[in-house]
Amino acid sequence: MSKKHLLWALPLIVMTSCDFGSFGHKGGIETDTIDSTEIIEPEVKIVALPDSSLPSVDKIEYKIEVLAPEIPGELGDLKDCYADAPGILTFRGGPYRQARFNGKVTGRPDTIVVDWVFNTDCRGEWGGGSGWTGQPLYINWPDSCTKQFENYAQEEIMIGSLCGRVYFIDYNTGKSSRPAIDVTNPIKGTMMLDPKMNGNLYVGHGVPSHEPFGALTINLKSHSIEHTYPRDPKAWRSWAAYDSSPVRVGHFVFRPGENGTLYKFYVDNGIEKMHSTLRFRKKGDSAGGVETSMPVYANYGYLADNHGVVICVNLETMKPVWFYDNKDDNDASPVLEIENGKPYLYCSCEVDRQVGEGTAHFAKLDALTGEEIWHFTLPAKKALVGSKHFDGGFYGTPLLGEGNCSDRIFANVVRNLSGQNGEFIALDKATGKQIFSTKLKHYAWSSPVSFLNEKGEMFVFTGDTYGNAYIIDGQSGEIIHTAHIGTNFESSPAVIGNHLVLGSRGNQIFKMSIK
């Protein structure tokens, strides 16, 4: 038996304390921090997928650099360490980026109630509030962890702001739960709270107002910035923003950058060490940046960049497995789903690199091979407003159907064919055929979220860039209710029960109830 297989055969040992180096929640443990006598029987482990490169990889060039060869690259436990986490700790909730938040409503919801409004600071040309993707994190702190904080809320919202601060909000009252942390540069993307509960909050800068510009890690125990990763001189692209929400798998945290690089960090007891990097680009093209958040299945990760490149990467070796050309800028994160025991990937693109009116693409792929299952297209346009342009196509991450809509996948799409207009569409997951298209008052970058009632009927909430909020019947596409609430909902919501938290491009963060 190899060392790797021997490791996987060991029983799982679970901690019973929370000192940010050993955590008692069943969501996971840090390595080498065994301090408990509680033993659980071995679980069935997910088998690592092959370290192979399919012929499609020949269409890209890439470079792998191992910076810490003394640390094995094997991920360790491949199970979803977000599955049992006490909250929503990364973009769309977990490694599949599915947004299965388990939203619940009673009957047929027809009302949106604003429960509280939290105001951020407002400074610089980017103002305050939150922008794309800007999803809040939510955590219901386990009792074993609460003693670590002098100023906390049992249920807490964490959100990065365009004003360059990270805010902490009491979920129940809407008041500050602890002081904001100034990270100097605007934050556009979604942060990630380490599901191992080691106190690491991973943050990415979105716009370079000050140097250093890049990525950082906040230590929640000391309530301060612990690590800073500035511009990478080895990157194949100079833009050093990090809109992608990091993801943890086993012993490692993965951070895709807009500089065309995937970074792999070994994390033990909250201490990070950069293990390796992958730089990639399509042959004959410059490197694109990754603004999407990476889905993960077992040891395979899926990157989609703003030059249309979609690649599957073996996260143990950092070698590409397959390549798919998605035609144009990928800003909507790919979504993974297991169907009949097999993983499939949904990915969609904008009209950005195309000139004038173009085509937005939405594809379903075999996640193991990159084979195209179906391919949906619709016309969209890059709109010019003064000196600014607004791309068409898909910005918001798609939403998988559930309940009575489990046969479909939903998405907001920017058309820009008659002014800055947009639609909410449903596609058949089996065929890619359009089931319905519902016109919105304005185009939407926000990612839709779902609620199920006691009958298993699915209802969708989404916001648009004029601050309108919608409740939509997932079966018919009918808009049940519309309310003008914010300034501009570019951000994506986090759902808790029949509530959601969503930021606006003004300086406001909202908690709403769906009734």
User: Which is more confidently placed, 384 or 314?
Assistant: 314
- Asked if residues 339 and 97 have their Cβ atoms less than 8 Å apart, the reply is no
Q: What are the distances in angstroms from CA 27 to CA 105, 184, 191, 266, 498?
A: 27, 32, 18, 18, 24
3-state helix, strand, coil in the chain (%, to 5): 5, 40, 55
pLDDT for position 149: 62
Q: The whole model's pTM is what?
A: 0.92
Say if residue 133 is preceded by a cis peptide, omega within 30 of 0.
yes
The fourth-level CATH superfamily of domain 3-47+57-514 is YVTN repeat-like/Quinoprotein amine dehydrogenase (2.130.10.10)
Tell me the mean pLDDT in the region 132-139: 98
Query: Which phi-psi region, left, alpha or beta, contains residue 105 (left: φ > 0; alpha: ψ -120 to 50)?
Result: beta
Residue (of 54, 69, 103) closest to 457 by Cα position: 103
User: Which is more confidently placed, 389 or 415?
Assistant: 415
Least confident window among 149-153, 295-299, 324-328, 419-423: 149-153
For the chain, percent of residues with pLDDT exceeding 90: 85
Tell me the mean pLDDT in the region 491-505: 98
User: Under DSSP, is residue 182 helix (H, G, I), strand (E, B) or coil?
Assistant: strand
For the chain, percent of residues with pLDDT exceeding 70: 90
pLDDT for position 28: 36
Say if residue 208 is preceded by a cis peptide, omega within 30 of 0.
no
pLDDT band at 145 (very low <50, low <70, confident <90, very high): confident
pLDDT for position 45: 60
How many whole angstroms separate alpha carbon 204 and alpha carbon 360? 28
pLDDT at residue 413 tops 90: yes
Residue that is written with structure tokens 């991450």 in the block: 397
pLDDT band at 23 (very low <50, low <70, confident <90, very high): very low
- Asked if residues 444 and 465 have their Cβ atoms less than 8 Å apart, the reply is yes
Tell me the mean pLDDT in the region 377-382: 95
pLDDT for position 504: 97
pLDDT at residue 505 tops 80: yes
- Asked if residues 14 and 38 have their Cβ atoms less than 8 Å apart, the reply is yes
pLDDT for position 151: 64
